């Protein structure tokens, strides 16, 4: 504006944004009406990826320290909840894209060459910053994901592999949980005893169930014993380390026990926000799993079993990433080993006091 005042269009660079939709079909003299939708939806995706990276990076920075200020946990939860709200939009945008029919897609697909969503370097950075490990990635058209990138984009993705991830930051934070080994309360031992007591009660109840057929009774008893072995394995540090070494678990034993402690004693005042934090990370992982699944189904609908634009196996490749690319599986698995609140070990009075916001006030 001539007087230098800032207006809506100048602030948001509206003219620049709406000039960035160049139809490749039009450049070939065969304009496809639907291509505008295709471009806009994917450009919007990239803007939302930028916003997610902005929020995620700020939360990682809060946790990437030896000491995490408890006052920051509420803000971290709020920012991660914002990520989940954006993810809901990402999922809903698939509905918009699905208004394009397979035949309409074919009107311009041949002009896309090797361009593919796999080359979204922002999304690759996002995966890395969440905590997806390079060695867990699936080969794409017989190439590593970095081989599809070049120049500054490749450098940024490589840099993100070396940065602290959300998984790493939260794992370190969990390992510093101070309530697991106190002089008058050893959480793991107490929890193991409580789990066995619960299973003993279930077995005793079955022993008096004369009305059950013998084969049904055996199934129930075997299930109880299988649960007992599962708890013993889950609460054993040596077995846990063996599973970490085998790649079956990622969180350390200390971090896993801390996450369990937070889950089962979530009602204690000082643990409410940490519980919300862990739940929100699970929700983020779940939302990306849903998004990948919806994306794969949409590609199947649009292309069938055709090779993707980036020469990948299209639908088959995307389907394989749905479960493979989950980051916080260890947090999901904790639900397997929860016991009813009525069966939980009773916390000592002094620990109850510490968990009532007294701890940080007196120990800081």
pLDDT digits (tens, 9 = 90+) for 310-339: 555 678 888 999 989 999 999 999 999 999
Mean per-residue pLDDT for 176-198?
88
Tens of pLDDT, residue by residue over 14-61, are 999 999 999 999 999 999 999 999 999 999 999 999 999 999 999 999
Per-chain mean pLDDT for the chain: 91
Mean per-residue pLDDT for 296-322?
79
Give me the pLDDT at residue 361, please. 47
Q: How far apart are CA 47 and CA 55, in angstroms?
A: 13
First to last CA, the chain: 53
In the chain, the domains with their CATH numbers are 12-363 (1.20.58.480)
C-alpha distances in angstroms, 244 versus 104, 233, 273, 361? 48, 13, 27, 36
Tens of pLDDT, residue by residue over 126-176, are 999 999 999 999 887 778 889 889 999 999 999 999 999 999 999 999 998
Q: How far apart are CA 252 and CA 241, in angstroms?
A: 7
Indicate the pTM of the whole model: 0.90
* Percent of the chain predicted with pLDDT > 70: 94
* More reliable by pLDDT, 294 or 113: 294
Among left, alpha and beta (phi > 0; psi -120 to 50; other), residue 60 is: alpha
Give me the pLDDT at residue 1, please. 47
H/E segment holding residue 274: helix 272-303
* Residue 76 Cα to chain centre, angstroms: 15
Q: How far apart are CA 153 and CA 162, in angstroms?
A: 15
Give me the pLDDT at residue 216, please. 82
* Main-chain phi, psi angles of 101, to 5 degrees: -85, 160
Question: Closest Cα partner for 318 from 337, 305, 332?
Answer: 305
CB 321 within 8 A of CB 295: no
Find residue 128's DSSP bridge partners: none
Residues 6+ apart with CB under 8 A from 38: 97, 100, 105, 108
H/E segment holding residue 182: strand 181-182
């Amino acid at each position: 504006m001539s007087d230098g005042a800032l207006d809506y269009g100048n602030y948001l660079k509206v003219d620049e944004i709406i000039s960035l939709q160049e139809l490749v079909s039009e450049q070939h003299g065969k304009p496809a009406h639907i291509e505008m939708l295709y471009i806009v939806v994917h450009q919007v995706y990239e803007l939302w990826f930028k916003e997610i990276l902005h929020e995620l990076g700020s939360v990682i920075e809060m946790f990437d320290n030896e000491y995490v200020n408890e006052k920051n946990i509420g803000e971290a939860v709020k920012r991660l909840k914002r990520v989940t709200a954006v993810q809901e939009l990402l999922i809903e945008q698939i509905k918009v894209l699905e208004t394009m029919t397979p035949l309409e897609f074919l009107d311009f697909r041949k002009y896309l060459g090797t361009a593919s969503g796999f080359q979204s370097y922002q999304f690759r950075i996002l995966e890395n910053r969440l905590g997806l490990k390079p060695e867990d990635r699936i080969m794409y058209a017989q190439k590593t994901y970095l081989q599809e990138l070049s120049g500054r984009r490749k450098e940024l993705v490589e840099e993100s592999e070396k940065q602290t991830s959300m998984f790493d930051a939260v794992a370190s934070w969990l390992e510093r949980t101070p309530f697991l080994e106190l002089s008058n309360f050893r959480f793991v031992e107490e929890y193991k005893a409580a789990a066995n007591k619960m299973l003993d009660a279930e077995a005793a109840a079955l022993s008096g169930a004369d009305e059950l057929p013998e084969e049904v009774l055996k199934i129930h008893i075997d299930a109880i014993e299988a649960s007992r072995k599962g708890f013993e394995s889950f609460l054993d540090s040596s077995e846990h380390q063996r599973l970490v070494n085998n790649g079956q678990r990622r969180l350390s034993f200390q971090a896993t026990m801390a996450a369990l402690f937070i889950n089962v004693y979530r009602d204690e005042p000082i643990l409410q926000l940490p519980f919300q934090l862990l739940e929100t990370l699970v929700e983020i992982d779940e939302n990306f799993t849903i998004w990948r699944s919806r994306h794969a189904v949409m590609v199947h609908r649009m292309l069938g079993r055709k090779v993707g634009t980036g020469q990948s196996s299209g639908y088959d490749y995307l389907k394989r990433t749905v479960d493979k690319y989950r980051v916080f599986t260890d947090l999901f698995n904790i639900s397997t080993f929860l016991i009813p609140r009525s069966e939980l070990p009773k916390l000592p009075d002094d620990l109850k006091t510490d968990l009532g916001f007294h701890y940080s006030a007196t120990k800081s």
